[in-house]
Amino acid sequence: MSVLQEIGSNVRNMKQLENSVLARRTTQIKEELRQGVRKSYKEVIDVSWGDPHKAGVKPLSFVRQVLAACLYPQLMDGDKLLVDVRQRAQRLLKACTGGSVGSYSATAGIPEIVQRVSEFIMRRDGGVPSHPENIYICPGSQWALTNILTVLVNPEASPRTGVLTPVPCHSTTVLSLTALGAVVVPYYLREESGWALEVEELHRALDSAKGVCNPLALYVINPGNPAGYVQSRKSVQEVIRFAAEKRLFLLADEVYQECVYGEKTEFVSYKRALAEMGPPLSDRVELASFHTASKSLMGECGLRCGYVELVNLDPTVMKHINSLFSTNACAPVLGQIALDVMMNPPQPGDPSYHLYVKETQHIRTSVAENVKRVDEVINSLPGFSCQLVEGGAFAFPRLFLPPKATKRAEEAGMQPDTFYCLRLLEEAGVLLSPGTDYGQKEGTYHIRFCIMTSLDIMEELLRRLSIFHKRFMKEFS
Amino acid sequence: MSVLQEIGSNVRNMKQLENSVLARRTTQIKEELRQGVRKSYKEVIDVSWGDPHKAGVKPLSFVRQVLAACLYPQLMDGDKLLVDVRQRAQRLLKACTGGSVGSYSATAGIPEIVQRVSEFIMRRDGGVPSHPENIYICPGSQWALTNILTVLVNPEASPRTGVLTPVPCHSTTVLSLTALGAVVVPYYLREESGWALEVEELHRALDSAKGVCNPLALYVINPGNPAGYVQSRKSVQEVIRFAAEKRLFLLADEVYQECVYGEKTEFVSYKRALAEMGPPLSDRVELASFHTASKSLMGECGLRCGYVELVNLDPTVMKHINSLFSTNACAPVLGQIALDVMMNPPQPGDPSYHLYVKETQHIRTSVAENVKRVDEVINSLPGFSCQLVEGGAFAFPRLFLPPKATKRAEEAGMQPDTFYCLRLLEEAGVLLSPGTDYGQKEGTYHIRFCIMTSLDIMEELLRRLSIFHKRFMKEFS
């Protein structure tokens, strides 16, 4: 018997994701295919994560060349690499302690790269000042969010600390909140209005927390995940006003800021909107904004690097955040280098500029085409309805399942959308995630899949999904 | 005013490391040197962290070549890279999702690399079985330790969860324990016996916890950090028997297992000793063992990758650990690749074998020479006494400060050893850490510095330290 007589309720309450059942079955299916078992497909298309390289998107050459040169500086001898690649690598290596990417960096990141991040933010926000000492580079934005939450969520507080959280919501945030002992206070995005974030709903959610917990923070995801909305400037301002009025700390997950597809859609950062609103709000509302090298056109998820910028935080709180970040030494240095390129890509006139633009443009147009195709194909299928994806990496269509299907799922002890996804995986070799992992209005079902794929993978995915879906709907009609 | 009326006491209680004061001053001094301010030194020698590349140790070519080839596969065209480098990179890329190091891996790591880790452990432990499903690759061993502790430490428990922790101890572990709300139950290593871990002291420590907390785990560091001891097989067995008798979960920080210098000294893993002791102990004692690519001869700290192997854990507990690891997606993929090389270096007959052996041998002999020189020089200085370093990356000599120096430190509101380190930094341009950051018997003072440096950096360090130390002792005599 374990020495652990009792596991803390916070950890115990962490939900097991349905996706893990699907991931396990995927591993088995891949092994079956390897052993020559005959199926209607030769390989599994996995679009369950926001992982562009997994889904056929190619890495950007400039990023990879700079990284390779930093790792193995002998590559810079001769002229195989363009001069701007060599110069960038030399500059970055000089900024690394001991001139090696194998050394730890400062806790908040390599100072020169932190400086670049802050310059990027200022350009993005039309000149709103950004201070390097408020920026922490970290191994992934989710990791940073957990650290900030560790300071925000007081495990001894009674009533417990509440965090207003969207439904649907990126699943790991909810897991982290639960593990820390916070109360998740759900607010629902309005699907029929393109997953709009409405302030009346925030009021309702806050009221619902009365007597249950002490709401201290409001978590927003813009552009959305899994719901692909992009907030307008007006919407961002409304949320800031609400946070100010209710004295809530704003946690802005803005990792998909580079991924905006609508023609008239524009990403406006919470930091910019807040600054533009002027005092007293701009001096008062506490804000943490998250970004990452994973969730951008470069899509370097495997390098594990992001950053958080903190605005209007009390120096005492900053001190504690610094201590927490120190416990993991620093972010992966190669991830930091990718971040440097992302913040400061080749400029007109640089030898690598042309290829860089060509490659990023190719990704942009492919994803825009995917968005269009998803809209056309999914909305033409019976029992499906999909809001137009304005930003982010995912489509999150609603699935209207026949009662016979939900009944069969129930008999199998499964959520209806998990049942659908498992059948899709089994019969069509497509792995995507059930809406139940992200939260959804009771009685509604969804699926989530990544749209940052190559064109051919998206076509094959839609082809397999269409055939399967029609057969499934017929079977249970 | 912040929305945070009250920060939880766990976070509030995290100790501010003295080292951060020194690090800030170092940044300023470097800037002063850059601006041409004249000092008795041209650059600061920073040996405050266990970071070999920072201290002049060269990266291993094979590791860097494989990493560069994985990042930028075009490098494999032609024959610039040796065939075993190309083959290794091709095999690893095939194991990456989507054939890119930019994709997420499975939460526990790339399955093929997890398999290699488990084979390495079996070889190391003379054939004791190791199961891949009990291994989690993670962004640094400290990160894994924090996750395991999150499951072990129940924040709601009363009395609170206790963890027996050595003094002196690696500082980030103590920070993590505090942040999680655990009670640190100190046990003292006996300096006069080469920092021996004595079971009577463990009994004393456990008794001291009565009425204070509920001790659930015993944390051991072998080889030591900051104290450079290596436990004998007998000592490891005694600790295991103690843990079994007292029903304690064993947390074995074995990250310096590759770094053992004594001629008759041998590293024996807790896992091996436990298995060799046979049932009932070998089926019952719960153990987590940590290792990393940072703390080895390759010294790739900046890549941020390690692993934990779990032994005899309850499946329910494993499920929760899995959930916690999932919240950060996966370890940096390039770090995982470095781990693959570390677990499975070039073998006799491989084209890269000769260079690999030459480079690792050079590091080994340099560090062995450093250990000898530290012993000679430090022990020849008045007011210093240094136990022989048997393993790990640090010397932790005791400093006998004159009363006038401790008085002056007190007046300056500083710990005496911090005062010493700050003066050393200022006057000699050497950055090392004060013992107070690691815990030490009351009234004793120490300094910690990295011995994994190049020979010339160590000589220069010892030269500067000797001159400064004699002057300092004279000034305060």
Residues B202, B166: Cα–Cα separation, whole Å: 9
Give me the sign of the Cα torsion angle A120, A124, A127, A131. Answer: negative
Name the maximum alpha-carbon separation found in chain B.
69
Q: Residue B323 above 90 pLDDT? A: no
A196 DSSP 8-state letter: B
- Is A78 a residue whose pLDDT tops 90? no
A7: closest CA among B313, B291, B47? B313
Provide, rounded to the nearest whole percent, the portion of chain B with pLDDT above 90.
88
User: Tokens 């269409």 sit at which residue?
Assistant: A466
Residue pair A438/A170 in contact by the 8 Å Cβ criterion? yes
Q: Give whole-number Cα distances, A38 to A33, A42, A239, A254, A424, in Å.
A: 7, 8, 53, 43, 16
Q: Is the pLDDT confidence value at A1 over 70?
A: no
Nearest-Cα distance to chain A for B74, in Å, is 10
Same domain, A44 and A118: no
Of B287, B307, B265, residue with least CA distance to B120: B307
Tell me whether the omega of the peptide bond preceding residue B226 falls within 30 degrees of 0, making it cis. yes
Q: How far apart are CA A289 and CA A254, in angstroms?
A: 7
Q: What's the CATH number where A50 sits?
A: 3.90.1150.10
Looking at the fold, whether B199 and B309 belong to one and the same domain comes out as yes
Exposure b/e, A318-329, CB count within 10 A at least 16 = b: ebbbbbbbbbbb
Domain end position, chosen among A298, A317, A343: A343
Task: Report pLDDT digits (tens) over B380-404.
Answer: 999 999 999 999 999 999 999 999 9
Does residue B352 form part of some domain?
no
Task: Name the domain boundary from B343, B365, B396.
Answer: B343
* B237 and B339, same domain (yes or no): yes
> For residue A43, what is the enclosing H or E element?
none
Q: How far is CA A110 from CA A298, A307, A453, in A?
A: 20, 12, 32
Give the pLDDT score at B312.
97
Between A152, A327, A331, which is nearest B172 by CB?
A327
Which 248-287 residues of chain B touch chain A by CB within 8 A?
248-249, 286
| Chain A / chain B CB contacts < 8 angstroms | 273
Paired tokens of A73: 């500086």
Helix (H) or strand (E) holding B58: none
Same domain, yes or no: B290 and B189 = yes
State the first-to-last Cα distance of chain B, in angstroms, to the nearest integer.
49
Domain final residue, candidates B276, B309, B343: B343
Domain containing residue B203: 104-343
Entry pTM: 0.96
Which residues of chain A have a CB within 8 Å of the CB of B105? 302
Q: Is the pLDDT of residue A6 over 80?
A: no
Both tokens assigned to A91 = 């500059």
Q: Is residue A178 part of a domain?
A: yes
Please tell me if residue B457 touches chain A, with a CB cutoff of 8 Å. Answer: no
Distance CA B260, CA B231 (A): 11
C-alpha distance from B122 to closest chain A C-alpha (Å):
25
For residue B248, give the chain A residue with the closest CA.
Answer: A3
- Residue-level pLDDT at B12: 83
- Say how many C-beta atoms besides its own lie within 10 A of residue A282's C-beta: 18
Return the structure tokens found at A118. Answer: 């802050």
Q: Which residues contact A441 (CB under 8 A, 6 or more apart)?
A: A167, A188, A191
Q: How far is B56 from chain A (nearest CA, A)?
A: 7
- Is the preceding peptide bond at B397 cis, omega within 30 degrees of 0? no
Q: What is the mean pLDDT of residues B79-106?
A: 96
As a whole number, the mean pLDDT across chain A is 95
Task: Tell me, yes or no, whether B317 and B436 share the same domain.
Answer: no
Q: Is the per-residue pLDDT at B335 higher than 80? A: yes
Q: Does residue B27 fall inside a structural domain?
A: yes
Closest Cβ opposite residue A150 in set B68, B151, B179: B179
Please state the three-class secondary structure of A246-309 as a single string.
CCCEEEEECCCCCCECCCCCCCCCHHHHHHHHCCCHHHHCCEEEEEECCCCCCCCHHHCCEEEE
Got the DSSP string for B322-340? HHHHHTT----HHHHHHHH
How far is Cα B242 from Cα B234, in angstroms, rounded to an integer? Answer: 12
Spatial distance between the Cα atoms of A304 and A171, rounded to a whole number of angstroms:
18
What's the order of all strands across the beta sheet hosting A135-138?
A: A135-138, A306-311, A287-292, A249-253, A214-221, A161-167, A183-188
Tell me, yes or no, whether B350 lies in a domain. Answer: no
C-alpha–C-alpha distance, residues A248 and B320, integer Å = 31
Total structural domains within chain B: 3
> pLDDT grade, residue A223 (50/70/90)?
very high
What's the average model confidence in pLDDT over A428-444? 96
Average pLDDT over every residue of B63-91: 96
Q: Is the pLDDT of residue A61 over 80?
A: yes
Confidence (pLDDT) at B168? 98
Residues B278, B128: contact at Cβ < 8 Å? Answer: no
Q: With an 8 Å Cβ cutoff, are A247 and B4 in contact?
A: no
Is residue A90 one of the residues assigned to a domain?
no
The answer to whether the CB atoms of B247 and A3 lie below 8 A apart is yes
Q: Does residue B456 belong to the interface with chain A, where contact is any CB pair within 8 Å?
A: no
Is the minimum CB–CB distance between A304 and chain B shorter than 8 Å? yes
State whether A139 and B304 contact (CB < 8 Å). yes
Let me know if residue B351 belongs to a domain.
no
In Å, how far is B397's CA from the nearest CA of chain A? Answer: 24
Could you tell me which chain B residue has the CA closest to the CA of A143?
Answer: B328
Rounded to 5 degrees, φ, ψ at A242 are -60, -45
Which residues of chain B does A6 touch, with a Cβ-Cβ cutoff of 8 Å? Answer: 154, 157
A327-385 confidence digits (pLDDT tens)? 878 999 999 999 999 999 999 999 999 999 999 999 999 999 999 999 999 999 999 99
Which CA distances in Å does B209 have to A169, A269, B158, B249? Answer: 43, 51, 13, 16
Is there a contact between B304 and A303 if contact means CB atoms under 8 Å apart? no
Can you give the pLDDT at residue B11? Answer: 83
Question: Which tokens sit at A157?
Answer: 């507080």
Asked if A337 and B140 count as a contact pair (C-beta separation under 8 A), the reply is no
The CA-based dihedral angle spanning residues A132, A138, A140, A143, taken in that order and rounded to the nearest 10 degrees: -110
Q: pLDDT tens, A389-423?
A: 999 999 999 999 999 999 999 999 999 999 999 99
Quick one: tokens of B465?
């330290």
| Top-confidence residue, B69 or B296 | B69
Quick one: pLDDT at residue B1?
Answer: 56
**Residues 106-125, chain A: which have Cβ within 8 Å of B?**
106
Verify that B239 and B179 share a domain, yes or no: yes
Q: In DSSP terms, which residues pair with B46 in a beta bridge?
A: B431
| 3-state DSSP assignment of residue A361 | helix
Residue B2 belongs to some domain of the structure: no
Average pLDDT over residues B164-181: 92
What chain A residue is nearest to B43 in terms of C-alpha separation? Answer: A98
The answer on B164 and B285 residing in a single domain is yes
The whole-angstrom separation of Cα B472 and Cα B376 is: 20
pLDDT score of B5 = 67
Residues 199-218 of B with CB under 8 A from A: 216-217
The CATH number of whichever domain residue B92 belongs to comes to 1.10.287.1970
CATH number at residue B320: 3.40.640.10
Mean pLDDT of B49-66: 96
Q: Give me the mean pLDDT over the A177-196 stretch.
A: 95
Do A315 and A166 lie in one domain? The reply is yes
For residues A293-313, give the mean pLDDT.
95
User: Both A368 and A305 in a single domain?
Assistant: no
**CB pair distance less than 8 Å for A68 and B72:** yes
Cis peptide preceding B168, ω within 30 of 0 = yes
The three-state secondary structure class of B124 is helix
A52 chain-B contacts, CB cut-off 8 A? 102
- Residue-level pLDDT at B425: 98
Whether residue B365 is found in the same domain as residue B466: yes
Query: Is the CB of residue A458 less than 8 Å away from at least one CB of chain B?
Result: no
For chain A, give the percent of residues with pLDDT over 90: 88
Chain A's closest residue to B457, CA to CA, is A98
Instruction: Specify if A61 maps to a domain.
Output: no
Whether residues B246 and B390 share a domain: the answer is no
Whether residue B110 sits in one domain with residue B47: no
* Arithmetic mean of pLDDT, B421-436: 97
